[in-house]
Amino acid sequence: MNRRPGIAIERWTPLSRAASAMTAALVAILAMAPLFLGANAIDRLTTLFIYVLLGTMWNALAGYGGLVSVGQQAFFGIGAYAAIRLSHAGIAVYPALILGGLLAGLFSLLLSSFALRLRGGEFAIGMWVVAELCHLLVNLDGLVQGETGTSLIALDAIAPGHRRDDTYWLALAAMVTLLALVFALLRGRLGGSIQAIRDNEEAAASLGVRVLAAKRIIFIIAGTGCGMAGALWLASSITFQPQAYFGVQWTAYMIFMALVGGLGTFEGPILGAVLFFAIELLFGASGIWYLVGLGAAALIFALFLPRGLWGTVEDRFDLRLLPLGYTVRIAAAAEPTAERER
Amino acid sequence: MIWVNQILQGVLLGGYYAVLACGLSLMFGVMRIINLAHGDLAVLAAFLVWLLTERLGIPLAPALTLVLAAMAALGVVLQRVVLERSLRAGILVPLLSTFGLAIVIENLLFEGFGADTRSLAPAIGSLAYDSWSISDEIYVGRLSVLIFAIAVLLLAGLQLLLSRTQLGRSLRATAEDPDTAELVGINSRAVYAAAAAIAVATAAIGGVLFAMRAAFAPYAGPSQLIFAFEAVVIGGLSSLWGTLAGGIVLGVAQSIGAQLDPHGFLIAGHVVFLLGLALRLTFGSAEARGRLRALLRRSA
């Protein structure tokens, strides 16, 4: 890159260095958490990791790819269902869970050629119909017994303590891997392409961005992530009732996390997931009003704070925690020079 | 003979879908918004009519008038408070905000009315179950025929409104290009409000008809939205009579599916919708239409 005096393009700021080190330390501490945390806390954290995964996946789709899907529960349900099927076929239970998530990813690959050609609202409701259809077809499987459902019996064979820790580590590994993948992709060439597509698809295509390829990568990652989340949810709850997995409420949760945390920011949905987790812990028992509150929050944030909490903080304080974008620093005295050189 | 009967029932069911869908289609046509709360607004109207007739003892006709007026007013409020702001924020935000609104409406309905399923069938007396027999095996319900007739009248009325009135011209002009419409003196804000009022009022009619022909519950909205949307897409976006054709295709597919398998009703509907979408994507673009025409010429 041609460097001009007085102008520096920075990716790593002191703050982002500190934040990245903190993130690495936090992951290391979380990885050791089963050694010093109680059973209840481990279960709670597993749930939180699943929420972070879901929020990030939905944000990758909508916040970066401009694809609002009301049907990501299709992958969530298929991840869990595939894990049950594989375990029933004799595959060891943890490999079956991982494969279940990957099979959901494969399904998203098969679906992508069709789904990604839909626009806006068509894509949103088209995906919803796909989810409904998956739900109905899974119900037909004799193993599932319709809405009665079934359970992941193989997990019962493992002692509860071991099971809890293994599921926790799997959830942590899945979350870290997929978030790191999204992060790496957004930092690279794809990040620029995909945001250009979100902002103006035609203009991006005219600049030589391969629109369909870029969208497809995001769509498959989101499908795999939601599938892993479904398999993990199955691992922590053991029962599989189709209604609970293919329900549109999962989309409502994902929208809440991504939108309140900050659509189109990497840190936002993580913050959103923590908030959602806390709100569920505090108000989940109040049932209907809790759901009304979630819907109202999504509505209010969409209307008045579309950048979400983190996006607003970033904008106001010019704060970038993780080194995702670039910061241009222009020294005041050097500015005229730069102008002349142009 | 059973198949003839199923197809006939499916065609009549299509009339109901057309009523439900025409508002969705109008709103998409004029504002380029897909209102994800459309189904929940329909169910809200059904509950309001139920509340007025069953609980407060108001006769059906004044109750209907009252609810339709209230829902049209709600449409204007919806436009001014939610949609207008969403539209300015880009193409994603209307989907997010109307989805949030849908969750609010259905859960408030659950809070207010509980999980019980209700029906407006008692309010319409023998109309709910009377039927005409065409042959020994084919019966058509009077209500189904009435709903189909309402669908045709409603679509014809909307068509007349769009093609013959000043409001219709303004609606069409704004749909084409709101900025240019403003230049020739059209108040696009007022036009959007009118479109929203009409759309929500027709959703209300759909909801009331739904409540007369079946039982309804607070969470019935999303599936009605999906049916309406399927009818709109199968019929080709934003064409009114296409909506009726789409509704009929959907209804026939569902009732044939139901005859094949107890679970077939919903599966067949969704499959036909997805096939329709795939076909349109393959042959819908201008170049693909050209290819199709060339193909037809060669085979002719």
B11 or A201: whose pLDDT is higher?
A: B11
For position A192, what pLDDT does the model report?
82
Q: Nearest-5° angle of CA B44, CA B48, CA B51?
A: 135
Report the C-alpha gap between A177 and A180 in whole angstroms. 5
> Which residues of chain B have a CB within 8 Å of the CB of A129?
226, 230, 270, 273-274
| pLDDT computed for residue A317 by the predictor | 77
CA distance B93 to chain A (A): 6
Average pLDDT over every residue of A225-233: 97
Q: Give the best residue of B33, B88, B104 to mutate against chain A (max A CB count within 10 A).
A: B104
Average pLDDT over residues A106-124: 90
The answer to whether residue B289 scores a pLDDT higher than 70 is no
Q: Which of B44, B92, B254, B283 to mutate to test the interface with A (most CBs of A within 10 A)?
A: B92
Q: Is A68 on the interface with B (CB under 8 A)?
A: yes
Element (H, E) at B133: strand B131-133
As a whole number, mean pLDDT of residues A300-322 equals 83
- pLDDT tens across A73-84, in order? 999 999 999 999
How much is the pLDDT for B92? 82
A-chain residues within 8 Å CB-CB of B36?
A: 70, 124-125
Cβ of A118 within 8 Å of Cβ of B34? The answer is no
- Calculate how close chain B gets to A102, using CA atoms only, in Å: 24
Interface predicted TM-score (ipTM):
0.87
What percentage of chain B's residues is helix, strand, coil (to nearest 5)? 80, 5, 15
Q: Confidence class of residue A327 from pLDDT cuts 50, 70 and 90?
A: low
Contact flag B34-A120 (C-beta cutoff 8 Å):
yes
Q: Is A121 on the interface with B (CB under 8 A)?
A: yes
Q: What is the pLDDT of residues B33-47, one digit of tens each?
A: 889 999 999 999 999
Q: Which residues of A touch B217 (CB under 8 A)?
A: none
The verdict on A114 touching B (C-beta cutoff 8 Å) is yes
Structure tokens at A54: 């879901």
Nearest to A121 among B34, B86, B101 (CB): B34
Q: What is the pLDDT of residue A160?
A: 81
pLDDT category of residue B101 using cuts at 50, 70 and 90: very high
CA distances from B221 to A137, B99, B172, B271, B281 (A): 22, 12, 29, 20, 28
B123 vs B284, more confident: B123
Predicted confidence (pLDDT) at residue B287 exceeds the cutoff of 60: no
Between B230 and A287, the more confident residue is: B230
Residue A2 lies in a domain: no
Quick one: pLDDT band at residue A325, thresholds 50, 70, 90? low
Domain CATH number, residue A126: 1.10.3470
pLDDT number for residue A311: 86
Residue-wise DSSP of A18-57? HHHHHHHHHHHHHHHHHHHS-HHHHHHHHHHHHHHHHHHH
Return the CA Rg of chain B: 20
B168-187 pLDDT, tens per residue?
A: 999 888 888 888 888 888 88
Selected residue of A73, A300, A303 to mutate for chain B interface (largest B Cβ count, 10 A): A303
Average pLDDT estimate for A143-148: 85
Q: What is the pLDDT of residue B295?
A: 53
- What is the structure's pLDDT at A20? 83
**Residue-wise over A104-134: b if at least 16 C-beta within 10 A, else e?**
bbbbbeebbeebbbbebbbbbbbbbbbbbbb
Preferred mutation among B107, B111, B233 to probe A, highest tally of A CBs within 10 A: B107
Could you list the residue range(s) of the whole structural domain that residue B283 is in?
A: 2-299
Cβ-nearest to B104 among A70, A251, A295: A295
- A1 occurs within a structural domain: no
B94–chain A nearest CA distance, Å:
8
- Reported as a single tens digit per residue, the pLDDT across A172-199 is 999 999 999 999 888 888 888 887 887 7
In a domain, A72, yes or no: yes
| Residues in A touching B225 (Cβ below 8 Å) | 125
Provide the token pair at B188.
Answer: 């696009």
Instruction: Quickly state the pLDDT bin for A52 (edges 50, 70, 90).
Output: very high
- The arithmetic mean of pLDDT across residues A274-279, rounded, is 92
Domain count, chain B: 1
Q: Quick check: B292 pLDDT over 90?
A: no
Per-residue pLDDT at B255 exceeds 90? yes
Name the band, by pLDDT with cuts 50, 70 and 90, for residue A272.
very high
Report percent pLDDT > 90 for chain A: 47
Q: In this predicted structure, what is the pLDDT of residue A332?
A: 53
What average pLDDT does the segment A150-171 reach? Answer: 87
Check pLDDT > 70 for residue A4: no
Percent of chain B with pLDDT over 70: 94
Mark A142-178 as b/e (b = at least 16 C-beta within 10 Å): eebeeeebbebebbeeeeeeebbbbbbbbbbebbbeb
Partner residue facing A126 (CB), from B95, B111, B277: B277
Phi (first) and psi of residue A143, to 5 degrees: -65, -35
Which residue in B93, B107, B278 is closest to A288 by CB distance? B107
Find the CATH number of the domain harbouring B243. Answer: 1.10.3470
Contact criterion met (CB < 8 Å) for B270 and A132: yes
Task: Give CA–CA dist A116/A216, Å, rounded.
Answer: 7
Least-confidence region, from A155-159, A265-269, B18-22: A155-159
What residues of chain A lie within 8 A of the CB of B112, using their CB?
none
**Domain membership of residue A293 as a residue range:** 7-341
Q: Give A-chain residues touching B82 at CB under 8 angstroms.
A: 299, 303
Q: Is A184 part of the contact surface with chain B (CB cutoff 8 Å)?
A: no
Check A117 against B281: CB less than 8 A apart. Answer: yes
Residue B90 has pLDDT above 80, yes or no: no
SS3 A48: helix
Contact A246, A127 (CB under 8 A): no
A284 at the B interface (CB within 8 A)?
no
Verify whether the Cβ–Cβ distance A133 to B102 is below 8 Å: no
* Spatial separation of the C-alpha atoms in residues B175 and B156, rounded to whole Å: 19
Distance to chain A for B62, nearest Cα, Å: 31
How close A52 comes to chain B (CA, Å)? Answer: 19
* Cα–Cα distance measured from residue A75 to residue A105, given in angstroms and rounded to the nearest whole number: 8
pLDDT, tens only, B202-217: 999 999 999 998 899 9
Angle (CA) B63 B67 B68, round 5°? 115
Highest mean pLDDT among A3-12, A84-93, A197-206: A84-93
Q: Is residue B205 within 8 Å of B48, Cβ to Cβ?
A: no
Q: Check A292 against B277: CB less than 8 A apart.
A: no
Q: How confident is the model at residue B280 (pLDDT cuts 50, 70, 90)?
A: confident
8 Å CB contact between B174 and B30: yes
- CB within 8 Å: B107 and A299: no
Q: Test A306 with B225 for CB contact under 8 angstroms.
A: no
In chain A, how many domains are there? 1
**Residues near A22 by beta carbon (within 8 Å), at least 6 away in sequence:** none
The region that residue A240 occupies, defined by phi over 0 for left and psi between -120 and 50 for alpha, beta otherwise, is beta
Closest Cα in chain A to B279: A114
The mean per-residue pLDDT over the stretch B273-277 comes to 91
Please say if the pLDDT value at position A250 is more than 60. yes
% of chain B beyond a pLDDT of 90: 57
Tell me if B277 and A295 make a contact (CB, 8 A cut-off): no
Per the CB < 8 Å rule, is A299 touching B281? no
Task: Give me chain B's average pLDDT, please.
Answer: 88
Residue B162 token pair: 């769009």
Q: Are A13 and A328 in contact (CB under 8 A)?
A: no
Longest dimension (CA), chain B: 67
For residue A332, the one-letter residue type is A
Phi and psi at A330, nearest 5°, equal -120, 120
Residue A328 reports pLDDT greater than 70: no
